[in-house]
A and B are shown apart, each in its own frame.
Chain A
Amino acid sequence: MSIQSKKSTDKKVKATKKSIPAFEWKYAPAPESTDHIDIKPQYELFIGGKFVKPATSEYFETTNPANNKVLSSIAKAGASDVDKAVKAARKAYAQSWQKMPARERGKYLYRIARLIQERAREFAVIETLDGGKPIRESRDIDIPLAANHFFYYAGWADKLPYAFPNRKPMPLGVAGQIIPWNFPLLMAAWKIAPALATGNTVVLKPAETTPLTALKLAELIQEAGLPEGVVNVVTGFGDTGAALVNHASVDKIAFTGSTPVGKYIQKAIAGTGKKVTLELGGKAANIIFDDAPIDQAVEGIVNGIFFNQGHVCCAGSRLFVQENIASTVIAKLKRRMKTLVVGDPMDKNTDIGAINSAAQLKKIQHYIQLGQQEGAEIYQTDQALPDKGLFCKPTLFLGTSQSHRIVQEEIFGPVLTIQTFRTIEEVIEKANNIPYGLSAGVWTDKGSKIFNLSNRLRAGVVWANTYNKFDPASPFGGYKESGFGREGGLHGLYPYVQFEH
C-alpha cells in the first residue's frame, strides 16, 4: 500500500518525549498469600503407600531460592531405600495394578487430576516457594498443565486398543523416573500419567532442589486411595538416581535432565534390556523473518528465553533475526525487556523470578562472563535486583557468531544470544549446526515458509508464530543429543508399552 500524503508534517507541532513530564507508575506489591499452605518441617520417603524414614537416616534441606530460607528437611534415599521402593512397585504391579481393569486405572487418574485442580493454589504456591518460578507461571501454566496431563492420559487408560489397532499393548512393569527441577510437578505428571495409564507402576526421583510438590503429590495419591506401591517417591541426589537406574528389577527408565547424565544413563543400562526415554538439553533456534508479525515475534522472543528464568530445555536461546530488520527487532526487544518485572516470585506481577539454585546461578554467571570475554556485546536492563536470594538480570548478547561458546552451549538461564542472517538456506544450516535438536521457532506470515522450515529443521518441536506452547495431546521430545522418545499425546504411550509377538 502506498499513498501520497498531502499533509505537510512541518505544520505539525512536534511533541518530543523529552518535553513531557513522565507519569511514573510503579505497580504496588501484590504478593500471593501463603496462609493456606502446609509444608511440614520434615518429609519422609513415599514407599508402598506410606511415608517411611530412610534407612540412611540422612536428611537434606530444601530452600526457597528467593530468600535462601529453609523450607523443609527431606529424606535422602540410599540404595537400600531405592531397592525397597522398586520392590514395592514390583509387588503393586504384580498384585493389583496390572490386573486391574483398565477403566478402573483410568478412574484413579481422573481422581488425581481432579484433586490437583482442587488444590491448584496450594501446589502453585509451593512450586514457587521451592523452585523460584513466578507465581503467575506456576498458577497459570505448571499446575493446570499437570492436571491436564492426568486428565488426558486418564482418557487413554481404557482405550489403548484404539491407540494401537490390531496389536495388544501390555505394560512393561516398573518404571524408574527421574525428573528435573525446572518444572517439578509438571514433569512428575508427564512421567507418572502415561506410565499408570498403560498399567505400569512407578518409582519417581524428584530433583534435590525441588522435591516438595512431588511429595505433596504423593500425599494426594495416598488420599486418592491408589493401591499401595503403585507410585513411590524417593528423594535424594544423583546417587539416588543412579541407584534407581542401576536397579536390576527396573524395566524402564524415563529421564528428563542434562545431556551428560543422559549419556551416563545410556551407558549404565547398555545390555540390561531396560527400555529408556531421554529428554535432555537444548539450544533452540528462534528464527525471525522480515515478513514476520514483528511485535508478536518480540513477545515470542521474550517468552522463548525468559519464561521460567530460561530454565527450559526447549528455550529459544539462540535468536536468529533477518539482517534487514535486526535493528528494529533488537530496539523493540530492549524496550520490551524494560517492562519485565524481575523479583519476588510470589508477587503476582513478577515476570522473572529467582534462579533455582546457587550452582545454577554460578553457571549462568560464568557464561555471562564468558560471552563478554568472547567479545559479544552484552545488554541488560538497569532495574535493581532484590538484595537477597538468587537472581539474574535478563541478558542479551549481541553480535554473536556461530563459533561463540555462548552460542554453542546450553546456559539454562535468562541469556539470549542474537545472530543475524541473510538467506533462508543460511539460517537453516546454522539452526541445525548444533548437537541438540529439541525445539525451534519460526516467525513469518508466510505459510509456505513455515512448512519448508518445519520439514528441514532438525528439531522435535517446531513452533510457528508462537513459542513454548505445551499441550498434553501434543508429543514432545528431541533429536540428536536432546534425547529420544516422546512424551505427550498418543506418542507418549509408546515408551510404556510392549506388544505380543
Chain B
Amino acid sequence: MSMLHHPVDQTGVEERIARFNTRSIKKESKLQGLRLALSMIDLTTLEGKDTAGKVRQMCYKAMHLADDLPDIPQVAAVCVYPNHVKTAKIALGESGIKVASVATAFPSGNSSRKIKLEDTKMAVGQGADEIDMVISRGAFLAGDVQFVSDEIAAIKDACGEARLKVILETGELSTLDNIRRASVLAMQSGADFIKTSTGKIQPAATMPVTLVMLEAIRDYYDETGIMIGMKPAGGISTAKSALQYLVMLYETLGPEWMSNEWFRFGASSLANDILLQLGKEKMGVYYSPDYISKD
C-alpha cells in the first residue's frame, strides 16, 4: 500500500524535535554547519515599500556577506516580487546567485488562474530562476484538492525551466495531517521544492511543520525516486535555530539533501546572526553587530 498517506501524531513529532534540539553541535561541526546554512539562505525582501535601490543593496550583500571574514559563501538566492526580478538579475550578474520570485497573487493566492499564470510568466520572462508560488488554501481546506493540484501543475508548466517552490502556508492549514496531505499533493502535482510559509502569516516556519514536510519528501523519494527540495521560511533568525534545522535535515533526509540545491532557508535576518557567530570563531570574542551590514 502507498505509504504517502498516513496519519501524523503531533505529540510524537514534538518529542522528535526535542531530541534534535538536544544535539550538541560544537567546534568544527558547528563551523561546517554555519557555513552551509549561509549558503542555503534565500535572502528575502517582500515588502510593499521595496524599491530598485533596496533590491540592489540586498543583492550586493548576497554576494559579499562579510568580506572581512574567511571562507564565507554566497547565499543561494535572493527572493523578490516579480517587478524587481530584472533589477536583481542585473545586480547579481554572473555571481551564480539565483533570483527567486514570488508569484501567483502572493501572499494570499486569491486571484484567477489566468492572473496567476500571467504573474508567473512575467517573473520567468524577466529572468527568474525560481518561482515561489502559493497554493489556494481556501480550496484546499474546502476539500477541492483537485483544483489545488491542477493549479500547481499549470503553474509548473508556466515556469518552463525555472524551479517551482510551492508554498503551503502551513500557518493556515491548522493540522499536521493537513500539512502532510498538502505536501504530498504539491509533490505529486509538480513541485520541485515545498516551502512552509509566505512569512506574512504567523506561525511561519516551525520545526514540527518542517519535520512533517521532510518526512513527506522522504516517503515521496522512496516511492518515486524523485528528490524534492525543502524551504522553511519565516521566523528562523538565529544561528542556533539554523543548526537545529540542519540537524533535523541531516537525520531525516541524510547527507544528500545537505546542499542549497535541496534545502533553503527563507530568511532576512538569519545571515547576520550566523556572521556574528563565524566572526566570533575568528576573533575569539563576539564583535558588535554594528560591524555587520544591515541591508
Contacts and interface: CB of A to CB of B under 8 A. Distances in A.
Nearest to A29: B26
B28 A7 contact: no
Interface residues of A, number: 45
Nearest to A22: B255
Interface in A283-316: 290-297, 299-300
Interface in B5-34: 5-9, 11-13, 15-16, 22-30, 32-33
B142 interface: no
Contacts of B226: 9, 12, 14-15
A338 to B, nearest CB: 9
Given A7-B189, A26-B29, A17 B3 contact: no
Nearest to A327: B3
A3 B185 contact: yes
A361 interface: no
A300 B15 CA distance: 10
Chain B: interface size category: 35 or more
B146 A3 contact: yes
Contacts of A294: 3, 6
Contact of B181 (A1, A4, A6, A21): A1
B286 interface: no
Contact of A466 (B8, B12, B145, B156): B12
Contacts of A136: 22
A27 B149 contact: no
Given A1-B145, A27-B23, A136-B22, A20 B1 contact: no
B215 A295 contact: yes
A345 to B, nearest CB: 14
B225 interface: yes
A349 B227 contact: no
A27 B259 contact: no
B190 A349 contact: no
Contact of B250 (A17, A25, A325, A465): A25
Interface in B80-105: none
A300 B1 CA distance: 22
Contacts of A57: none
Nearest to B227: A15
B241 interface: no
B156 A4 contact: no
Contacts of A16: 225, 227
Interface in B181-196: 181, 185, 188-190, 192
A387 B10 CA distance: 40
Interface string A14-40: 111100111111111110000000000
B122 interface: no
Contacts of B5: 1
A16 B192 CA distance: 14
B281 interface: no
Contacts of A466: 11-12, 15
Contacts of A296: 8-9, 11-13, 16
A28 to B, nearest CB: 4
Contacts of B1: 290, 324-325
B150 to A, nearest CB: 6
A339 B226 CA distance: 22
Interface in A137-158: 140
Interface string A458-483: 00000001100000000000000000
B256 interface: yes
Interface in B51-80: none
Contact of B251 (A15, A291, A331, A339): A339
A272 interface: no
A23 B259 contact: yes
A16 B24 CA distance: 31
Of residues A3, A4, A20, A292, which shows the largest number of chain B Cβ atoms within 10 Å of its Cβ? A3
A27 B154 CA distance: 43
A451 B246 CA distance: 39
Given A1-B5, A23-B259, A348-B22, A293 B12 contact: yes
A70 to B, nearest CB: 28
Nearest to A30: B24
Interface string A336-360: 0001000000001100000000000
B227 A30 contact: no
> Which of B11, B12, B32 has the largest number of chain A CB atoms within 10 A?
B12
Interface string A374-399: 00000000000000000000000000
Interface string B261-275: 100000000000000
Given A1-B181, A23-B259, A28-B27, A6 B15 contact: no
Contact of B227 (A3, A17, A331): A17
B79 to A, nearest CB: 22
A335 to B, nearest CB: 8
B224 interface: yes
B8 A295 contact: yes
Interface of B: 1, 3, 5-9, 11-13, 15-16, 22-30, 32-33, 36, 145-146, 149-150, 152-154, 156, 181, 185, 188-190, 192, 215, 221-222, 224-227, 246, 250-251, 254-256, 258-259, 261
Given A23-B258, A292-B7, 17 more contacts: A5-B188, A5-B190, A7-B190, A9-B226, A15-B227, A16-B225, A17-B221, A17-B227, A25-B32, A27-B29, A29-B26, A30-B26, A291-B6, A292-B6, A339-B251, A348-B22, A349-B24
22 contacts: A1-B185, A5-B188, A5-B189, A6-B189, A7-B189, A9-B226, A12-B190, A17-B254, A23-B255, A27-B25, A27-B26, A293-B7, A293-B8, A294-B6, A295-B6, A295-B12, A296-B8, A296-B16, A328-B222, A331-B222, A348-B22, A465-B11
